[in-house]
Structure 1
Amino acid sequence: MKAMMRRFGNLFLLLFLADGAISFLDHLVRLIAPLSPLDSLQRMVANLVILVAPVVYLCLGIDRRLPKRVFLPLIIFVFSCLFALLLVPSLSGSTPFGLLISAAQLALCLLPLNCFSRRGRPSLTMPPELFDRPSFSPKNTVTFAAVNLLVLPCFLVLLLAVTVNAYMEKFTSGFMHIAPDGLHMSEKVYRRGSQTIRLAGMIHVGEKDYYEKVVGAAAPGRTLILAEGVSDSRELLKNRPDYGKLAGYLGLATQQDRMRFEGRMIDQEELERSLPARQRKDRGGIDILRADVDISSFQPVTVWFLDSLGKQMNESPTLSSQLLASVAWSEKNVTPAMQQTIMDDILNRRNQVVIKQLRKALDRYDNVVVPWGALHMPAIEQEVVNQGFQLQQVRDRVSIHFSKREP
């Protein structure tokens, strides 16, 4: 047991050093070439460090011989880096940040060198004589457990935030993420020759100035805005979901109220009749096209779902009861098969429409703006890439501040 614990602790120390050294060399190579041959090895060693670190942390409460002044700073460093990369994924592709972190990781290896020695020489690993005393101490274990009663809730909250953020990043292709100051939405600017496409991830409720900044960022030149918004020409919805109550409770605005682009409304026929951009004499101005579906194109189950959900939301007197009633009703009445049909209508069918309009718009306009919900953006962005556009800029905006509220 004594030898096993010492070897396990030493394994973590050596992996920590190897991860720092390989990462530092990997990022140095990236300064010269975009692809590094050390990338796969670095990821493998980093994953091993992440797997071993929590086990070593638990061992600190069981075996008092493991020096906390050495292991705790290293373990805290590992999880701090992990949370930083998960909360701000763009840091993972930053070479300066990678060099800084790997240099700090190598500097932390001075801790064991200062604390351990063999035959009078500094040592990175723990010497055998450190484990000559008894391993278990009730005082050590009780103190460790008491401290973790305070640390664990904070850790779980942070882990929950990181998990939620990871799902947001995955399902919105980075158009929505959480940061310490609030919920962020991204706008990506793509370019192909003289043409640009702005993909602005949107949310139903947000800060007033967020919507104003999106509206005010229109590019010069002939511009078409492909507006989001499901119509209901046959008035099939008797109870349309209203986000005003949610926005008012949170001190926010709704996209419907604040998302007001200044421009000339056109319809589908006018878009198809318009001349290509290169033949136009007028090189300015903004046109707006509602590039969305009508409720009548949805399956009956989707219409029923939206109407019933709107009724649940509108009849609930408070925000909490609104949310609880909506969730309870959905769990009781919506089957998995129905969910698939509903999502196909609300997400995929609408994506197909806006992508079709985008293709037509690219033949006639210099700039196209697509301010759509963040969940729609992965499919739309893939179409933009398939059309040969390249990412030029990413603008990050706070859509909901966690603490700041404007009257």
Structure 2
Amino acid sequence: MSLLDDLAGAGPAMRPRAVILRLGAIAALVAGTAGAFAYAGGWLSPHDLTPARILDRFERVNGPHPGFRRNHAKGLCLAGRFESSGRGERLSKASLFAPGQITPVTGRIALAGGRPYAADAATTVRSLALRFHLPDGEEWRTGNNDIPVFPVRTPEAFYAQLLAAKPDPATGKPDPEALAAFFAANPDSVKAAALIKARTLTAGFADDTFRGLNAFRFVARDGRQTPVRWAFVPEHAATAESPAQGGRADENFLFDGFASAVRRAPVRWHLVVTLGEPGDPTADATRAWPSERPSLDAGTVIVSETEAEADGNCRDVNFDPLVLPAGIEGGDDPLLGARSAAYAQSFTRRAGEPKSPSAVHDAPVAGAGL
């Protein structure tokens, strides 16, 4: 691939016009968000919070792991498709929501944290990152977690939380005084932490629900905008993890379980979109929207393959949440710009580092009944 292709994230078969359009969209996105997120990114002053400082703190907390993501370091690649139900078309002009539209999907399941060889644990936050490959070079990239709300409201609070939650080598647990000081300074995180702690821990990735957490805007063909949040809800009923599962000796039991599930049959999640109303918080990911808000099933993500991370697959993709197709726009949540900037910094760092094998040594798996 040429440098132009690398910058645009374009495949070798993409037409020149599509590459130019994508570069134009990227340039417009950068220009449109740079001012809004200058404070969050800290580019106006060397003393402000910057993407580099966020990544430095991840490395301080987790240790150096060259070649890996600084967060969600342990992962497994996946591939499949999205089958639209047609119900999302009235809210968004994005082509993947057209009735009967089938869109190729690649992605990654992962565990939160910057230690790529850590043993799987049921309580660790799980993530589902997806990359929807739309026609004419458009993409939708989205990162989703299995928690009901995000633990902090601002990039600054996230930065402080990283250090406050760092385990003490002597006890393996965070310093209680540091955590108490953090929560005293960030009362919105107290309620969020309670909601996160109360969530149901499912048996694995396949029966887990993954939420986008940040608010976005769907844009219809007539220009009408709707604030939305989304979740990927498993087709099969969730099964709570048993004590026996929690005590497994297999250090990769969550990833091995997902690969086994795909081997038996494709794993399916429904994209459930919740519609916001005036007054619903769109700039505070620590607050859930009222449960009575209307929602719709926009279609189904069907995962039919898994593969260990390697050159050219999901390992080398930046799942930037602001890579969006026409019909989906970022909202006013300050975390979105900070995430985008930090993800780019992480991608740049690991791209120039030597690579080590993933802890998840999964042979390519294609599900049955395709």
TM-score by length of 1: 0.24
**Which structure dedicates a bigger proportion of its chain to helix?**
1
Select the structure of larger CA radius of gyration.
Answer: 1
**Which structure dedicates a bigger proportion of its chain to strand?**
2
